[in-house]
Amino acid sequence: MTRDRADLRRLHFINALFAHATGHDLYLADQIKGAITFSLAELAAQTSAHPEFAAKFDAGFNAAAAHLLAKLFAHLPRRGFFHWDAALTPAAATPLFARAELMAGLRQLAPFRESTLLVTNLRPALIPRRATPRRQRDYEEALAFIRDLTAARTARSANLQLLFL
């Protein structure tokens, strides 16, 4: 993926993630993307010198965006936010541990009429290197499991955004 495509992907990601703050204004989303990229300047310089570090930069960018979003939602008392990083431990993305983490998050989000559940690093946790048919199937099953669990455990009156990053 070229730098231009990666930057455009990040811009659209930030635009979607911070839509409530930017009003889908790409200029404002670009400002947020620039701030996050600036905070990762050293990693960006390493990535420029060594393109093989692109995955590491993407992971850092995603983590910084999730952290910024959590700080933003902390100031909105009527809106819930929960972030689950599927790559925290080697077993975190397995169905048993994923269910426990997601249920804890859904319990935390239950009092809010509007909330966001952010799931990061699910794909890298289940498909660490090559996408074999079995790993791809496990990933698709995990996506379906998370969607079904979230739908079943969320009140009909609640507006929950489920984001996969």
- As averages over each run of 10 residues, the pLDDT of the chain (165 residues) reads 73 84 86 88 77 76 84 80 86 84 94 90 85 90 94 92 87
Split into its structural domains, the chain has a count of: 2
Q: Which pLDDT belongs to residue 125?
A: 86
Domain final residue, candidates 27, 45, 74: 74
Claim to verify: residue 161 and residue 82 sit in the same structural domain:
yes
Question: 81: exposed, middle or buried (C-beta count within 10 Å: 0-12, 13-18, 19+)?
Answer: buried
Enclosing domain of residue 132: 76-165
Tell me the whole-structure pTM to 2 decimals.
0.75
Domain final residue, candidates 26, 49, 74: 74
Measured CA to CA, the distance from residue 30 to residue 11 in angstroms comes to: 6
pLDDT tens-digit map of 11-43: 888 888 888 778 888 899 899 998 888 888 887
Q: Which pLDDT belongs to residue 3?
A: 54
Give the helix ranges, DSSP H, for 18-126.
Answer: 19-22, 26-39, 41-49, 54-74, 95-109, 122-126
Which helix or strand (DSSP H or E) is residue 142 part of?
helix 133-152
**Under DSSP, is residue 85 helix (H, G, I), strand (E, B) or coil?**
strand
